[in-house]
């Protein structure tokens, strides 16, 4: 609470007799009074900041700017200062109108000392509430801002943790993928290139980042089942006999079984199992066709085939890029989904692996 000595009342009235009476009443009761002779004088005092009123007594009937005109100006500049209007006994309606416009109360002339002091006391009590409310609002706003900052910081930390976890996952999966390549040196770098090509294609097809992430893991791991295929079979230079072919064609199913035990790899299972299916249904292991092949799987079928064709294999030299693209083009609608082949060729997806090791 303010000390009564420090409480300042501004009197805005054009009548010198009224100014004098009010000043005497106020000062004899311990208030500091400041008189303004008219609206402009009051505005000047307030604007200069030489007097900070805790309450304003405002005469309604004044020349130039009336009390009712001055009221909104004062309220907008000093919303925490209650304004008590002074009105003639015969003009109650104007006093009420002033209250509707934001005045705290009104006093009728002639003003009696006890009535004046009581109203001033109430107005100052109201000011205390306004000040307290304002303080709480500011405090609350500050608290909100701190909270937002804290949330922002925590979100940043979580994002970093998520990024690190993602990187760790990716490197773990890459290590796993390299175990296949260690066994089959002809495929060195193959899995990572299939990953990059698949990611590029998926971005062009507008796939969601989360789906793209699991597509990348799947691309790295699509041939994980090869770790169970005899090494002489993987390195064989001639064509495979029917028995050997059957064994080789087990690798998608074996890969699926290896990854099935870890929940994290659940989104990869379809791609690993079906990366050797064909659009026309003549692939393996299940012979599924067309729309039964999921979109990410269709992508890996194409990127895997392209990279296999452009890499050296035990049974043949790498094909030049143009020949491999021709093969993809000719496989549209039979081996491959036509739309994805078009994207792969038209958007030059194959350039994304040019600078990879």
Q: Enumerate binding residues for Fe ion (CB under 5 A).
A: 223
Q: Using CA atoms, how far apart are residues 342 and 348, in angstroms rounded to an integer?
A: 10
| Distance in Å, CB of 223 to Fe ion, minimum | 4
Whole-angstrom Cα distance, residue 71 to residue 67? 6
- Tell me the two tokens of residue 346: 């038209």
CB closer to Fe ion, 13 vs 223: 223
Whose Cβ is closer to Fe ion: residue 59's or residue 216's? 216
Strands 8-12 and 55-59 come out as parallel
- 29 to each of 8, 17, 26, 37, how far by Cα in Å? 12, 19, 5, 22
Beta bridge partners of residue 33, listed in sequence order? 9
**Which residue lies nearest Fe ion, judged by its C-beta?**
223
Q: Give the nearest distance from C-beta 253 to Fe ion in angstroms.
A: 11
**CB of 222 vs Fe ion, minimal distance in Å:** 6
Which of 106, 336 has the CB closer to Fe ion? 336
Residues 335-341: contacts with CB under 8 Å, at least 24 apart: 335/278, 335/279, 335/280, 335/283, 335/301, 335/305, 336/278, 336/279, 336/298, 336/301, 336/302, 336/305, 337/279, 337/293, 337/298, 337/301, 337/302, 338/279, 340/201, 340/205, 340/298, 340/299, 340/302, 341/302
Q: Which is nearer to Fe ion, 249 or 342 (CB)?
A: 249
CA-based nearest residue to 320, from 329, 311, 332: 311
* Pick 54 or 223: Cβ nearer Fe ion: 223
Q: Which residue number, 71 or 224, has a Cβ lying nearer to Fe ion?
A: 224
| Shortest CB 276 distance to Fe ion, Å | 6
Q: What is the CA radius of gyration of the chain?
A: 42
């Amino acid at each position: 609470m303010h000390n009564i000595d420090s409480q300042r009342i501004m009197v805005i009235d054009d009548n010198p007799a009224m100014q004098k009476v009010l000043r005497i009443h106020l000062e004899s009761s311990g208030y500091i009074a400041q008189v303004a002779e008219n609206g402009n004088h009051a505005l000047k005092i307030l604007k200069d900041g030489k007097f900070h009123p805790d309450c304003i007594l405002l005469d309604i009937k004044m020349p130039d700017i009336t009390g009712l005109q001055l009221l909104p100006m004062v309220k907008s500049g000093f919303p925490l200062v209650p304004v008590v209007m002074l009105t003639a006994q015969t003009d109650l309606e104007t006093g009420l109108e002033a209250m509707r416009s934001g005045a705290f109360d009104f006093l009728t002339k002639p003003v009696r000392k006890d009535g004046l002091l009581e109203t001033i006391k109430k107005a100052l009590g109201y000011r205390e509430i306004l000040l307290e409310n304002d303080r709480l609002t500011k405090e609350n706003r500050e608290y909100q801002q701190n909270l937002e900052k804290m949330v922002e910081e925590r979100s940043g930390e979580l994002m970093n943790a998520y990024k690190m976890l993602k990187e760790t996952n990716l490197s773990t999966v890459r290590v796993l993928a390299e175990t296949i390549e260690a066994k089959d040196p002809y495929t060195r770098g193959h899995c990572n290139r299939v990953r990059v090509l698949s990611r590029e294609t998926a971005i062009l097809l507008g796939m969601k980042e989360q789906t793209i992430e699991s597509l990348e893991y799947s691309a790295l791991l699509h041939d994980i089942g090869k770790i169970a295929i005899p090494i002489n079979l993987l390195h064989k230079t001639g064509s495979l006999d029917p028995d050997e072919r059957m064994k080789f064609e087990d690798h998608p199913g074996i890969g699926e079984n290896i990854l099935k035990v870890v929940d994290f790899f659940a989104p990869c299972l379809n791609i690993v199992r079906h990366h050797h299916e064909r659009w026309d249904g003549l692939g393996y292991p299940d012979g599924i066709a067309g729309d039964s092949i999921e979109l990410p799987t269709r992508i890996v079928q194409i990127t895997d085939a392209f990279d296999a064709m452009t890499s050296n294999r035990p049974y043949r030299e790498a094909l030049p890029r143009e020949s491999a693209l021709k093969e993809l083009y000719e496989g549209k609608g039979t081996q491959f989904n036509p739309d994805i082949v078009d994207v792969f060729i038209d958007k030059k997806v194959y350039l994304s692996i040019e600078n990879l090791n």
